[in-house]
Structure 1
Amino acid sequence: MIPPQQTLVKYDNPVLISKSTDKKASRVKGSRRNVSSPSKAATLTPGAPVPQPPRAQKLPPVEKKASPQTEEILNAILPPREFSEQGQLWVQSVSAGPATRIDVINLQEQLDGKLQQRQARETGICPVRRELYSQVFDELIRQVTVECAERGLLLLRVRDELRMTLAAYQTLYESSVAFGMRKALQAEAGKGDMAGEIDQLKQENADLQAEVMKLKAKCEEIEQREKERRATEQRQHEEELQFLKRTNQQLKTQLESILAPPKK
């Protein structure tokens, strides 16, 4: 029987639970019981040889099996898989047999083969690699649980905590992506308004620059006019000063001529 899905966890052989011909088979078995019952109750004829019981066959050595409590714990950690094939229902439980060193080496080789076969990425986020390593972790938990149930339950807590942490990080990543998408949509929606506002601000900037140029030209004109006015005032002041100097010189000469003694 081929399992429904190839996995690195070791499972027992599938067990048939029910099939479509169960009712018919039960009816046939009941009729056979009714027919064969008289033959079993028949007495032996005199002189007939007495049938000898069959020889006891040599039984195979009994393998060491896990306790029922360990099997219950294994079924709780790794529930049995159910699948149907051709109208028949099959159940496959996880193996309760202990693992040897060879099994661990084979598990490592199977992991490497699966990683190469399914082309899992060596770095970064890879769902395939995560799935395969999760199966290996479940198989290691199964092997440890067979040897020590308490240690297996502790590893189960570690596995659940790790999965919960990964789920929290995944939820955080999805929420951040959704937040980024909302912000991108809002930015795209407000892009037209921002473009209009940018054009308006550019026009206001151009108007202000034109006004600045006008004011600069006006300031230069005022400075030029004031410069000319100062030059004119300076020239007038110098002319007036020269006039006053000449007048002063004339008055000084007249005063000296008046104050000078008369000639004999």
Structure 2
Amino acid sequence: MIPPPDSLLKYDNPVLISKNTERKSPKSRALRAEPLQVAPPSPPTPPPFPIKAKNPQLDFSKTPEEMLNAILPPREWTEGAQVWIQQVSSAPSTRADVTHLQEELDLRLQQRQARETGICPVRRELYSQCFDELIRQVTVNCAERGLLLLRVRDEIRMTVAAYQTLYESSVAFGVRKALSAEQGKADAERRIGELEQERRELERQLSEQKARCEAIERREAERRQLEDIKHAEEIQFLKRTNQQLKAQLEGIIAPKK
């Protein structure tokens, strides 16, 4: 296990606590760490909706170092067969330390190229380290204020984790909606193509029916014109026949008189 990276939280010099090469069980390790009140370091980024642990209660029978370690647990790592532990510094801080902390925060934000806006894990990690250092500085002077700040930090982490989970859920919901919209768009485009083809087929049928109707109208007009001519010729023939019969009748009747 490699040593932990540099942090804005101020630590004392690391201390060697074990040189044994044998693998120790978790039980024996916990028993060894109990006199020093060592707790495993918390992860830099809390999981979504973490279970809120109970804040350490103030016990005025403990030394300030023990109370500080209860609020900000020391970190532990191994190098080869050696186990090292590094506790949070209990040295009081001055205004110069606060100014240096601010300058160090700005420098690391610039070095690690943290984004100024939006979601940035690097910026969140550095500000979390800075807040832990402020808790340490306050706890050295007043353990009660340090414990209250610890509660504020845990509440902020829980709120950020809740918003992160909500953001991830909204992103997943948006992706599902986008995929559904794309699928609906493909179905709509296919339906539009089918309707366009159906429209062209109906237009073709309409054109055929119009052409058939015009052909029928032309045939009926020609037939009616022929019937009118035939009817007019029959009328003329009947008129001539009537005139001839009338003339014959008059010729027959006239001599008798």
Identify the TM-score tier after normalising by the shorter chain.
0.5 to 0.7
SS at match of 1:158: helix
Identity of aligned residues (%): 70
CA distance in 2, matches of 1:174, 1:21: 44
In the alignment, structure 1 residue 139 sits paired with structure 2 residue 133: yes
- Corresponding residue for 1:202? 196
Unaligned runs of 5+ in 1: 23-65, 221-264
With the length of structure 1 as denominator, give the TM-score of the two structures.
Answer: 0.58
Match of 2:217 in 1: none
Compute the TM-score of the two structures, normalised by the length of structure 2: 0.59
1:237 is aligned to: none
Number of aligned residues: 181
Residue 207 of structure 1 deviates from its aligned partner by 4.7
Q: Distance in 2 between matches of 1:95 and 1:206?
A: 84
Equivalent position of 1:8 in the other structure = 8
**Partner residue in 1 for 2:72:** 78
Distance in 1 between the 2:148 and 2:211 partners?
87
Verify the 8 A CA contact 1:120 1:126 in the aligned structure 2. yes
2:10 and 2:88 in contact (8 A); partners too: yes
Letter in 1 for 2:148: L
Q: 3-state SS of the aligned residue for 1:90?
A: strand
Is contact 2:3–2:78 with CA below 8 Å preserved after alignment? Answer: no
Residue 188 of structure 1 and its aligned partner are, at CA, apart by 4.3
Task: State which structure, 1 or 2, has the greater radius of gyration over its C-alpha atoms.
Answer: 1
Q: Are residues 85 and 208 of structure 1, via their aligned partners in 2, closer, same or farther at CA, if it must alter by over 3 Å? A: same
- Residues 205-233 of structure 1, C-alpha deviation per residue, up to 9 Å, x if partnerless? 44556677789999x9xxxxxxxxxxxxx
- Distance in 1 separating the partners of 2:205 and 2:163: 57
**Deviation of 1:13 (Å):** 1.1
Greater relative contact order (Cα < 8 A, sep 6+): 2
Label 1:217 to 1:89 Cα distance change in 2 as closer, same or farther (>3 A). same
What is the alpha-carbon root mean square deviation over aligned residues? 3.5
Local SS of the residue matching 1:84: strand
The question of whether the paired residues in 1 share the 8 Å contact of 2:3 and 2:79 is answered with no
Partner of 2:110: 116
